[in-house]
Amino acid sequence: MKLVLVRHGESEWNKKNLFTGWTDVDLTDTGRQEAANAGELLRREGFDFDLCYTSYLKRAIRTLNLALEQLDREWLTVMKSWKLNERHYGALQGLNKAETSQKYGEEQVRVWRRSFDVRPPLLNEDDDRNPRRLEQYRAAPPQELPLGESLEDTIARVVPYFEKTIRKEMQNGKRVLIAAHGNSLRALVYHFEKLSKEEITKVNIPTGVPLVYTFDENWNVTEKKYLGDPNLIRAKIESVANQGKKQ
């Protein structure tokens, strides 16, 4: 069984080096090109899909749409779930990562960005950014919607969704493409590769690059590979890793 993961292309807030989380920002021109390139790579490598999954956030939705356009598969069924949203960065959302490092220190920002179980400062209940006050989450159980999340919290919502919903479809023979976010995809990487808490903190996922997992019948990973130019992929991974450093 194969599964393809794609992190959304560069967003407007990626470009500005801002904590984004559940803020629903769009792709940049670069991000749109990255998404199209991902679809072109998948087409060139002979991939086809039966079912797609994405989050409630437009940067992931539009990445998926642009990739499917290149694959000539815009008619495919797409399932959207807030369970695949990015990690919620709480009150950090909208802050510049480098400026936050200047104010609080690189180590504190590293902990907020890359620790396993430390939550960011939480939103207040009456904050307009509270997902319980946003239209796209009107059907979600309010008690499940976060005011801020650690990576551990993100894993706790992403992995059960995969296990209960996506894995079942794959076992029924469906070829699946997931377009999501850095941390929701890291949650899956943690799960698939059985990483430790320390190991997952060092994982960075590049934007707009298809990541292909192959599993055996017992759901052990037998192959993992990124598609595309290794040098470009390496540079993108380093760029993600450096986002929280002082400028």
Q: Is 88 annotated as a binding residue?
A: yes
Residue in 40, 45, 74, 86 annotated catalytic: 86
- Phi and psi, residue 3, nearest 5°: -140, 135
Q: Is 172 annotated as a binding residue?
A: no
Q: Is 167 annotated as a binding residue?
A: no
Q: Is 115 annotated as a binding residue?
A: no
Kindly report the three-state secondary structure assignment for every residue of 78-92: EEECHHHCCCCCHHH
- Among candidate residues 105, 136, 116, the one with its CA nearest the CA of residue 24: 136
Residue in 8, 34, 149, 181 annotated catalytic: 8
Whole-angstrom distance, CA of residue 63 vs CA of residue 84: 14
Q: Is 246 annotated as a binding residue?
A: no
Q: Is 113 annotated as a binding residue?
A: yes
Q: Is 73 annotated as a binding residue?
A: no
Q: Is 183 annotated as a binding residue?
A: yes
The burial class, CB within 10 Å (0-12 / 13-18 / 19+), for 198 is exposed
Q: Is 12 annotated as a binding residue?
A: yes
Active site residue 86: yes
Whole-angstrom distance, CA of residue 243 vs CA of residue 97: 7
Active site residue 106: no
Q: Is 8 annotated as a binding residue?
A: yes
Whole-angstrom distance, CA of residue 84 vs CA of residue 165: 12
**Contact predicate 39/70, CB 8 Å:** yes
Annotated binding site for substrate: which residue ranges?
Answer: 7-14, 20-21, 59, 86-89, 97, 113-114, 182-183
**Catalytic residue numbers?**
8, 86
Annotated binding site: which residue ranges?
Answer: 7-14, 20-21, 59, 86-89, 97, 113-114, 182-183
